[in-house]
């Protein structure tokens, strides 16, 4: 099978939303009137972001999901994507499963694959995603205001606990592993939430490297500080079992791979956010507030400050 056979068989689909899709030197995309293009790239490297024996269907899902999460954080509607793959060999069974997982999620969010590249090399997956958003309604990192409430969607820590189990740092029961595993292998991008937060949230970011690290990017960009109540952080029933375990606490605060949204909004929009939570059937939890200063202070229910050793994942630390 040649490189071009591979592309035609596994990655060529109709692209009615693009002026020109796969098959030429470049795709031609036309943004809708009054919309700005939101563009983001994410790379998944075997051995760094996933294990060599990762299920290819789930890996196809996650490869696109992490990029959709970036669109969600900006309040953008995802439209198109490109996919670049390096792989040691053209394994047809693997490609069949991977592309099925990728396109299942793409179809769910109406994303068209309009180009990319394939090459021989260590397994490496890179997506560039394109979305649309009215420029004035894009939710950015630098808009947090003193007095804003800090919110997170879903629950935190499950993905990090699964990874710790796979690395042998902790042992989860079969039932616990099954309950937490989807968070790591098939994260659900919060696109609908991102769209609903347009005009409500002052700032937002997706939680990929850990709550404290990613909230820290908002704080730095906005030149403010935050106070977070650890007892308010949303966690699953499995995480409740481990919340007093050092690894459990670290997973919730800085484990990463959650792909939930962290956002800030004025207190006056509290009821609006609760309504969004009800409409989307998605837990949204207020975990603290934005204050003057710099950095993030985490305290317990009694107001005692909690020391946090690690602040999130860094590829070069």
Other C-beta atoms closer than 10 Å to the C-beta of 26 total: 9
Which pTM does this prediction carry? 0.92
CATH H superfamily, domain 3-136? PurM-like, N-terminal domain (3.30.1330.10)
Task: Give the whole-angstrom CA distance, residue 308 versus residue 311.
Answer: 7
| Domain residue limits, the chain | 3-136, 139-299
Across all residues in the chain, what is the average pLDDT? 92
Q: Is the pLDDT of residue 306 over 90?
A: no
Fold for domain 139-299? Answer: Phosphoribosyl-aminoimidazole Synthetase; Chain A, domain 2 (3.90.650)
- Residue the block writes with tokens 């946090």: 308
User: Of 262, 239, 261, 237, which is closest to residue 250 (Cα–Cα)?
Assistant: 239
pLDDT at 312 over 60: no
Residue-wise pLDDT for 183-201, tens only, equals: 999 999 999 999 999 999 9
**141 has a pLDDT exceeding 90:** yes
Separation of alpha carbons 8 and 63, rounded Å: 20
Does 284 have pLDDT greater than 50?
yes
Tell me the torsion sign for CA atoms 137, 129, 37, 221: positive
Lowest-pLDDT range of 12-21, 241-250, 279-288: 241-250
236-274 pLDDT, tens digit each: 888 888 877 777 788 899 888 999 999 999 999 999 999
């Amino acid at each position: 099978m040649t490189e071009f056979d591979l592309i035609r068989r596994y990655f060529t689909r109709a692209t009615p939303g693009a002026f020109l899709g796969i098959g030429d030197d470049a795709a031609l995309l036309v943004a809708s009137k009054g919309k700005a293009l939101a563009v983001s790239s994410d790379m998944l490297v075997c051995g760094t972001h996933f294990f060599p024996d990762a299920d290819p269907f789930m890996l196809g899902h996650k490869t696109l999901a992490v990029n959709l999460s970036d669109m969600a954080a900006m309040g953008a509607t995802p439209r198109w994507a490109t996919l670049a793959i390096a792989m040691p060999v053209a394994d047809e069974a693997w490609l069949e499963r991977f592309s099925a997982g990728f396109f299942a999620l793409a179809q769910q969010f109406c994303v068209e694959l309009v180009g990319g590249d394939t090459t021989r090399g260590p397994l490496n997956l890179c997506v560039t995603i394109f979305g649309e958003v009215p420029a004035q309604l894009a939710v950015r990192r630098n808009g947090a205001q003193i007095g804003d409430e800090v919110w997170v969607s879903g629950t935190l820590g499950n993905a990090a606990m699964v990874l710790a189990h796979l690395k042998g740092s902790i042992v989860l029961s079969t039932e616990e592993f099954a309950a937490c595993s989807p968070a790591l292998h098939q994260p659900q991008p919060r696109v609908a939430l991102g769209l609903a937060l347009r005009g409500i949230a002052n700032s937002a970011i997706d939680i990929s490297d850990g709550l404290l690290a990613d909230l820290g990017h908002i704080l730095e960009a906005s030149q403010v500080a935050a106070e977070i109540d650890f007892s308010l952080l949303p966690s699953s029933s499995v995480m409740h079992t481990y919340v007093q375990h050092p690894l459990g606490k670290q997973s919730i605060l800085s484990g990463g791979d959650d792909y939930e949204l962290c956002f800030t909004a004025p207190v006056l929009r509290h009821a609006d956010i609760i309504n969004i939570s009800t409409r989307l059937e998605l837990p949204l939890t207020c975990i603290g507030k934005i204050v003057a200063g710099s950095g993030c202070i985490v305290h317990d229910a009694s107001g005692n400050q909690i020391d946090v050793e690690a602040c999130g994942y860094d590829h070069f630390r």
